[in-house]
Structure 1
Amino acid sequence: MRKTTEGIKGQVISVDTPELMNMLHVGRKAATDIGTAANARITIGRRVLWNVKKIQQYLDGISE
């Protein structure tokens, strides 16, 4: 499982919903709302992953 979320040199490029919740320290609804607003959803079959780079850019853009 670890190989599916590790990018080049160990950088994480995508995460699943529970890991996104852990990264953002929020609940499932808030995590999916943020991911959707950032247009970071990646769907592969039934699996949903979130693009970490897009979420970071979105949060940087809305922060003061």
Structure 2
Amino acid sequence: MALSISLVLLFGIIVVILVRTGYQRILPGIATCLFGFFLASTGIAPGIRSAITSLSGWISALSF
């Protein structure tokens, strides 16, 4: 739960920066967000969620 909130915050900051610098326009950004919402309601969503969880676990296990 805490990881997903952190990722949402991180991606939100990235989107704001991209929109403010002009690299991302508003309408394509809205289309991308809608695609994400519709993708979350499909059958592939649990696979994506488990892949992100595995990747974040792997990254946190790295010791620098």
Common fold by TM > 0.5: no
- Could you tell me the TM-score, scaled by structure 2's length? 0.28
**Structure whose residues are more often strand by fraction:** 1
- Could you tell me the TM-score, scaled by structure 1's length? 0.28
Whose Rg is larger?
2
Q: With CA pairs under 8 Å and 6+ residues apart, which has the higher RCO, 1 or 2?
A: 1
**Structure whose residues are more often helix by fraction:** 2
